[in-house]
Amino acid sequence: MIGLALLLGAALGYAALKFKVEGDPLIARIDAILPQTQCGQCGFPGCKPYATAIAEGRADINQCPPGGDAGVRALADLMGMEYKPLNAENGVEKPKAVAFIDEPVCIGCTLCIQACPVDAILGAAKHMHTIITSECTGCELCVAPCPVDCITMVPIAETPDNWKWRYPVIPIKPTFTL
């Protein structure tokens, strides 16, 4: 009996070492669902802090407008929670957009550069700034600080590149109904 206990104990101990999990995978898994816009609309200074807050139960799952409805559903799934619609206080789901700097108006103040959470704005003091479109997450954080209002959010247009096939809509048409 003691032998068995020792054996099982050893097996468990080995398993604990072998399958040791580094860090808190839950935060990483939540973070993987979040869109990484880093916009702060959730009330936290970025996606990771929000993920941490969800994991610790300090935040709800419906505070991320860029993640949208699908994001809330994915989070509800992961957390084993009931789905709930987006909290309107945090904002509404919008089509994805990128920032655009009206370059002739830009005064080169670097305020937007400091605001950008992903370093997607290129420029130096007193030099025109420009957005690296491919890296812009559309967080809108650069819009407010601009003292001359030269930054606008431009929705991403549909091109043959990003165009998607539509869900087929073929209704079952009655020839006539009784």
Partner 1 sequence: MNRSPYISDAPSVSTMMLKVLLALVPGIIAYVWIFGGGILVTIALSAATALAAEAAMLKIRRRPIVPFLSDYSAVITAWLLALAIPPLAPWWLVVVGTLFAIIIAKQLYGGLGYNPFNPAMIGYAVLLISFPVLMTKWPAALQLAQTKLGFIDQLQFIFDGTLPLEAKLDAVTSATPLDYLKTQLTLKHEIAGIKEAPIFGALGAKGGEYVTIAYLLGGLYLWQQKIISWHFPTAFLGALALISGVFWIVNPAHFASPIFHLFSGASMLCAFFIITDPVSGPTTPKGKLWFAAGVALITYLVRVYGGYPDGVAFAVIFMNICVPLIDAYTQPRVFGHKK
Partner 2 sequence: MNALVNFTGLLKKTGIFKFNGGVHPPENKAQSTQLPIGQLALPEKIVLPLRQHVGNIPKIKVAVGEQVLKGQLIAEAEGAVSAAIHATTSGTVSAIEDAIIPHPSGLPDRCITIKPDGKDEWIEKKPQDWKSTDRKSVVASLRLSGIVGLGGATFPTHIKLRSDGKSGVHTLIINAAECEPYITCDDLLMRERADEIVKGIEIAQYLLGAERVLIGIEDNKREAAASMRAATANTTMQVIVVPTLYPSGDARRLVHLVLGTEIPHDKRTTEMGLQVFNVATVLALYRYFEHGEPSINRIVSMTGNVNKPQNFEVLFGTPLQHLVAAAGGAKAETTHYIMGGPMMGFDLPSENVPITKAANCVIAASPTLFEPPPPAMPCIRCARCADACPVNLQPQELYWFAKADNFEKANDYKLFDCIECGACSYVCPSNIPLVQYYRYAKSEIIAIDKAHEAANLARERNDFRLARIEREKLERAQKHAERAAAQKEEAAKKASENLNNDALEPNIHAGSGNVVLDAATAKKAAIAAAIERAKAAKAAAAQTGDAPKNVVVSDENVKKEIAEIDARRQSVGLEKLPVDAGIDKEKQAKIAAAIERAKAAKAAAEAAKQIEKNS
Q: Under the rule (CB under 8 A), what is the footprint of partner 2?
A: 31, 34-38, 46-48, 103-105, 107-109, 117-120, 122, 124, 126-128, 135, 137, 147-150, 158-160, 162-168, 170-173
Return d(Cα 137, Cα 112) in angstroms, integer.
Answer: 14
- Closest separation between CB of residue 171 and partner 1, Å? 9
Is 169 a binder of partner 1 (CB under 8 A)? no
For tokens 């990003």, name the residue.
Answer: 162
Q: Would you say 88 or 178 has its CB closer to partner 1?
A: 178
**Per-residue CA distances from 91 to 65, 68, 124, 134, 147 (Å):** 6, 10, 32, 24, 23
With CB cut-offs between 5 and 8 Å by kind, which of partner 2, partner 1, none does residue 177 bind?
Answer: partner 1
> Would you call 141 helix, strand, or coil by DSSP?
coil
With CB cut-offs between 5 and 8 Å by kind, which of partner 1, partner 2, none does residue 153 bind?
Answer: none
With CB cut-offs between 5 and 8 Å by kind, which of partner 1, partner 2, none does residue 82 bind?
Answer: none
> Would you call 130 helix, strand, or coil by DSSP?
strand
Residues listed for the chain: 178
